[in-house]
A and B are shown apart, each in its own frame.
Chain A
């Protein structure tokens, strides 16, 4: 799964620490999400979506491999 978290965060000029604090997660979680090493829970994905004013699908994108697994 790919995501646009880093792009959206830098667009708004927010540091990882600040975003982590606002979402009440650790900075490592934000870093892992941005690097694609960790996939968020639905709850966290929704919180991130609400924070950036986007839908979850606009931030987190299923790649081809994930879609093949899902079907």
Chain B
């Protein structure tokens, strides 16, 4: 049955499902949290907000995929596979990667200055993960190309 759906519908349904699960988990967990656990309640609130946000995006996407004209859909399909668009996206990702790494480095110094060691170590860990991902991706693509 899912095969007969319009293109992209499966993805929106998946996002909607994740949103529903996150929202339900957030609401139920928030109701069962004890009042002393303020930060945990806040975390569950974040799950609720995250779920609601995903659901809103998915519903908007589903409605749009139903209403969009076939010509516009074709144009969007072409734009998605357009080689210049892909090149622009890759260049933007590169800039985003270096901006993210720079922000992490600044945060490590800032958190150390503020004596927030755990946050500092978490940022350092995230920076190592980012660098490791870069190295692995480089090696994989170097072998492929």
Contacts and interface: CB of A to CB of B under 8 A. Distances in A.
Interface stretch (A8-16, A38-46, A50-58, A63-71): A38-46
Contacts of A21: 78
Interface residues of A, number: 13
Contacts of A26: 78-79, 82, 84-85
Contacts of A29: 82-85
A47 to B, nearest CB: 11
Interface size of B as a range: under 10
- Residue of B79, B82, B85 ringed by the most chain A CB atoms within 10 A: B82
Interface string B78-112: 11011111010000000000000000000000000
Interface string A1-41: 00000000000000000001100111011001000001011
A17 B28 CA distance: 53
A38 to B, nearest CB: 5
B81 A24 contact: yes
A45 to B, nearest CB: 11
Nearest to B77: A24
The 3 closest A-B pairs by CB, nearest first: A29-B84, A26-B82, A25-B82
